[in-house]
Structure 1
Amino acid sequence: MNKGRNRTRRPSNEPSPKDQARDELFQHIISCGVVGCDPEHQREWFDETMPYLAERFFELSAVDIAELRTLGERFAQPPRSAASVSAGNDAVATA
């Protein structure tokens, strides 16, 4: 027989809507092949995709959506090679 233990439930660690939207945006960027595309095509893709995410994650404010787009645009940029990063650092050091 149960001796009347007081069991409290731990709060679940569900991600916030902003985190879920970010993760979904990154998944779409990868699956749609946005990384490495022409900047004009990327801009067009984001113009079409962000209203969808704003509708899907209605909890997010306009500021959150703008921040999400900025994160997505940074994520979609091709990775820098080690040579270009060191060349950029050398240019800053000589300035």
Structure 2
Amino acid sequence: MKNTEKKILEKAKIILKDLQGEFFNEKNIEKINFSAEKEITVPKNMKLALWTIVINEPIFDSTIFLCISDEDAEPLYIRSKHKTSEIIKNSDGIYIRK
């Protein structure tokens, strides 16, 4: 494990503020899980150390999963029950859905 839960939580808040804007509420973050070797398919098939942030979305009565690489503490994707979106940083340093 290269990152701490505290560091990943702070990073998750930045990412979610960028993605959700005025709808972001940090109280909706339910928990953070770490997997030393998680198999993922987005952005490509691979196994890696991964942090998963579980976010409750009360407006839509659903759960969202934000996945962040432990290697560089950068987001890989965000998954809801309807869609999985890769996350990239634009030229202004803002996280956006690809």
By relative contact order (CA 8 Å, sep 6+), the higher-ranking structure is: 1
Quick check: TM above 0.5? no
What TM-score do the two structures reach when normalised by structure 1? Answer: 0.27
Going by fraction, where is helix more abundant, 1 or 2? 1
